[in-house]
Amino acid sequence: MSVILPVAKQGEDILKLKAAPVAESEFNSEWLQQLAAAMQATMSVREGVGIAAPQVYISKRVIIVASRSNVRYPDAPEMDAVVMVNPEILEFSQETCLGEEGCLSVPNERGQVERAQTVKVRYRTLQGDVVEATYEGFPARIVQHEVDHLDGVLFVERLTL
Ligand code: K1U
Ligand code: ZN
What architecture is domain 13-158?
Alpha-Beta Complex (3.90)
Cβ neighbours for 114, distance < 8 A, ≥ 6 positions apart: 96, 97, 98, 158, 160
- The pLDDT assigned to 11 comes to 98
Smallest Cα–Cα separation from 154: which of 56, 35, 72, 52? 52
Q: Tell me the β-bridge partners of 60.
A: 20
pLDDT tens-place string over residues 150-160: 999 999 999 98
Atom of ligand 1 nearest to the CA of 141: 11
Ligand with an atom nearest the CA of residue 45: 1
Task: Map out the domains of the chain as residue ranges.
Answer: 13-158
With a Cβ cut-off of 6 Å, ligand 1 is lined by 47-52, 70, 72-73, 100-105, 141-142, 145-146, 149
- The pLDDT assigned to 1 comes to 75
Whose C-alpha lies nearest to ligand 1, atom 22? 101
Decide if 146 is catalytic: yes
- The pLDDT assigned to 161 comes to 74
- The pLDDT assigned to 72 comes to 84
What are all long-range contacts of 25-33, with beta carbons under 8 Å and residues at least 24 apart?
27/85, 27/124, 27/126, 27/127, 27/128, 28/126, 28/127, 28/128, 32/62, 32/85, 32/126, 33/126
Catalytic residue among 100, 114, 146, 157: 146
Which stretches of the chain score pLDDT less than 50? none
Q: How far is the CA of 47 from the centre of ligand 1 (A)?
A: 9
